[in-house]
Structure 1
Amino acid sequence: MPFDWLARNLLVNLFLPPVNVLVLAVAAFVVWRRCPRVGKTLAVAAALALWVQAMPWFGRQLADPLEVGAVLELPPLDAARQLPSAAATLPQAVVILGGGATRHAPEFGRESGADVNDATLARVRYGVLLARRTQLPVLVSGGSPTGEVVEARMMAQVATDEFGVPVRWIEGQSLNTAQNATFSARMLANAGVSRVYLVTSAWHMRRARDQFERAGLTVVPAPCCNANAFESDVMPGWWPTVGGLRTTHQALREWMALAVGH
């Protein structure tokens, strides 16, 4: 596991829930005896921070601005491809971005017992559906940030073995979204492809679209896997939940990545 990748992730997580709450709690414990008033203030701040960050409503407010591009409607898409001008204006390929992997799935028989995680599986599932409907070739993109299994190779295996859709291009060098875009654009340019459907999670689409357009591609966003919707039993979202904390963590991390241009 690369040291710089590990150090960067440890630093980033200091500012994300639940670690940011633990930092406040530890600070409260340390200063309580010497300065009780400050200690109590920090303890209250930690409790409030945990409550607010775990509210589904709060996570939703952070995630909403990240979601760009409407969900594609497949019937109108089918009709558009029948038009005489379709070949000159519509996308020429489907690009699916990876969202992580797991090393705890030996039942699939892949290298090192690895498999795509839930986010990546959902993206691949939607991407191959889109590719099948449009009859377009597929590019999968995702490297190996931990220095272990290459994410794109597993994505290609899932697409081919489990969904029956072949993958034409496997981009397995990228370590972040900016590199996803740069390396994918180079591969596609060699094949004369300049217009793509870009498949990734809804909360990741803003950053992904910007990076791929910066790399010179014309992008039609194809967002999927909106995991930020309210749970029906916690409406209107004020009560803290584990899901709410996860949404806040995810959205804050995405805003940080946008800020540094990754």
Structure 2
Amino acid sequence: MPFDWLVRTLLVSLFLPPVNVLVLAGFALAIARRCPRVGKTLAVVAILALWVQAMPWFARQLARPLEAGTPVDLKSLDTARGLPAAAATLPQAVVILGGGATRHAPEFGREGGADVKDPTLARVRYGALLARRTQLPVLVSGGSPTGEVVEARMMAQVATDEFGVPVRWIEGQSLNTAQNATFSARMLANAGVSRVYLVTSAWHMRRARDQFERAGLTVVPAPCCNANAFEPDVIPGWWPTVGGLRTTHQALREWMALAVGH
């Protein structure tokens, strides 16, 4: 595991739930004897911070501005592909971005127990559907930030073995979204591709689209995995849930990545 990646991850986690709450609680305990009032205040703030960050309503407010585009209308797509000028205007490839890999899935029989995480699986599934419907070639992009599993290779295996969609390009060097865009654009340029459907999670699309357009590609967003829908058993959004905390975590992390241009 690269040391610089580990350090960055640890530093970022200090500002994300649940670690940011633990930091506040730690400060509260540290100063409770010398400054009881301040310690109690910080403890209350820590509790409120945990509650608010776990509220699905709060998570949705954070995640909604990160979205860009809407899922591709497959019926309209079929109509558009039948028009005479379609070849000159429609995308020429489907690009699927990774969302994490793991070594804890031995049941699939891959080397080292490697597999894709749930967000990656959802993106590959939607990208495979789009590729079948459009009959376009597929590029998968995702490196190995931890130095273990190369995400793009796992994505290619899943797309081929489980969804029956071949992958033409495997970009396995990138470590962040900016590199996803730069390295993918180079591979696509060599094949004369300049227009793509970009598949990633809805909360990641704004940053991904901007990076791919900056790399010189014309992008049609194809977002999936909308994290903003309320869970059906949640009391109108304000009752804290693990799902709400997870969405807040990923949304705050995404805002931080936008701030630094990655």
TM-score using structure 2 length: 0.99
User: What runs of 5+ residues in structure 1 fail to find an aligned partner?
Assistant: none
How do 1:12-161 residues align onto structure 2 when only pairs under 5 Å count?
12-161=12-161
Instruction: Let me know the Cα RMSD of the aligned residues.
Output: 0.6
How do 1:152-191 residues align onto structure 2 when only pairs under 5 Å count?
152-191=152-191
Q: Is the Cα–Cα contact under 8 Å of residues 209 and 221 in structure 1 kept in the other structure? A: yes
2:145 partner amino acid? P
1:228 CA displacement: 2.7
- Structure 1 match to 2:217: 217
The alignment partner of 1:181 has SS state of: helix
| Structure 1: distance between partners of 2:25 and 2:69 | 39
| Structure 2: distance between partners of 1:162 and 1:47 | 44
1:110 CA displacement: 1.3
User: What runs of 5+ residues in structure 2 fail to find an aligned partner?
Assistant: none
The alignment partner of 1:197 has SS state of: strand
| Structure 2: distance between partners of 1:153 and 1:142 | 8
1:149 CA displacement: 1.4
| Structure 1: distance between partners of 2:108 and 2:187 | 29
Q: What count of residue pairs does the alignment treat as equivalent? A: 262
| Structure 1: distance between partners of 2:137 and 2:240 | 43
- Structure 1 match to 2:240: 240
| Structure 2: distance between partners of 1:222 and 1:50 | 33
| Structure 2: distance between partners of 1:2 and 1:209 | 28
The alignment partner of 1:170 has SS state of: strand
| Structure 1: distance between partners of 2:144 and 2:234 | 37
Q: Is the Cα–Cα contact under 8 Å of residues 71 and 222 in structure 1 kept in the other structure? A: yes
Deviations 1:152-205 (A, max 9, x none): 000000000111110000000000000000000000000000000000000000
TM-score using structure 1 length: 0.99
| Structure 1: distance between partners of 2:225 and 2:47 | 31
Q: Is the Cα–Cα contact under 8 Å of residues 111 and 149 in structure 1 kept in the other structure? A: no
The alignment partner of 2:170 has SS state of: strand
Q: Is the Cα–Cα contact under 8 Å of residues 96 and 140 in structure 2 kept in the other structure? A: yes
More deviation, 7-16/225-234:
225-234
Percent identical pairs in the alignment equals 89
Deviations 1:111-162 (A, max 9, x none): 2111000000000000010000000000000000000110000000000011
1:6 partner amino acid? L
